[in-house]
Amino acid sequence: MKVAVIMGSDSDFPILKPATELLKDFGIELDVIVASAHRTPDKVREYVLNAQKEGIDAFIVAAGAAAHLAGVVASFTVAPVIGVPINATPMNGMDALLSTVQMPSGIPVATMAVNGAKNAAIFAAEIFAVKDENIRKKLTEYREKMKADVAKKSERVKAQL
């Protein structure tokens, strides 16, 4: 299973980095590129049209401001596209959220929260887990670890009383 992570600018990478790490933890291969719907539309088109040949099964696409990148990617493929709106302007990500989520009927983008890159990685893993036993096991372990972490947090709060 392989995911393409496409971001509009290298300034988005600090938000995407934890998602790339999570994908690796889940044993999912990835390719990462910077390409912009507005600044390099030809590069976006060419990359997405070649993606199937390159073994890409799903896309995680992040952009800020007037964030048309995920929608444009979705227009060139029938593979799942998971959008991550980035907080990159004085509008605190609301601009990117609406630009990413409000797709016209027929071309969906599964849109995460503003800066919600880790959930994008988890959602990609959940798509693959339908058919991949190993990824399903890793997701279950991830949930168990979260449960244990919440228990620890609870203990830490109690210790401060």
Beta strands in 16-158 (DSSP E): 29-34, 58-64, 81-86, 110-111
Minimum CB–partner distance for residue 24 and ligand RP5 (Å): 22
Contact 14, 88 (CB under 8 A): no
Helix (H, G, I), strand (E, B) or coil at 28: coil
Our CB check for ligand RP5 shows the closer of 73 and 135 to be 73
Residues that bind ligand RP5 (CB under 6 A): 8-9, 11-12, 36, 63-65, 86, 88
Minimum CB–partner distance for residue 1 and ligand RP5 (Å): 25
Our CB check for ligand RP5 shows the closer of 36 and 77 to be 36
Minimum CB–partner distance for residue 105 and ligand RP5 (Å): 25
Contact partners, residue 32, CB within 8 Å, separation at least 6: 4, 5, 6, 7, 16, 20
Q: Which residue is nearest to ligand RP5 (CB)?
A: 8
